[in-house]
Amino acid sequence: MSVNRLEERVRLLTPVHTPDGGGGHEIVWTETASLWAEVLALSGSESPAGDGRLVTRTGYRVRIRAPRGADPVPRAGERFAWRGEVLAIGTVLLGRGAFLDCLCERES
């Protein structure tokens, strides 16, 4: 991929806490934006889970154009939906020029 080629479509998902009827709450993920992005896999690892399964984690950099005005800004704790995968946003950094780099992780 070339630098700053925003050719992938990602959906920004924000958690909304809703009452569950039993005194607690559940999290519903709501789409707040559809954005053009460059998605790049950075790293991967495998580790055993407590139940004997093997857990695979893949790190990604999702580069988007920096939002302007009232456009939503991605934040740690939100997610991107991309190609049927969910990428959890861990860190948002100022990228080069008018871009934001979101460091994300996919767990399976």
Local confidence pLDDT in tens for the 108 residues of the chain: 445 689 999 999 999 999 988 889 999 999 999 999 999 999 999 888 888 888 889 999 999 998 888 788 999 999 999 999 999 999 999 877 789 999 999 977
CATH hierarchy code of domain 8-107: 2.40.10.270
| DSSP letter (8 states) at residue 98 | T
Amino acid identity for residue 98 in this structure: A
First CA to last CA distance, the chain: 25
Delimit the domains of the chain by residue range: 8-107
Paired with 47 in beta bridges are 55
Half-sphere exposure of 36 (CA within 13 A, CB side): 6
> pLDDT tens-digit profile of 24-47?
999 999 999 999 999 999 999 988
Stated length of the chain: 108
Rounded CA gap, 55 and 35, in Å? 29
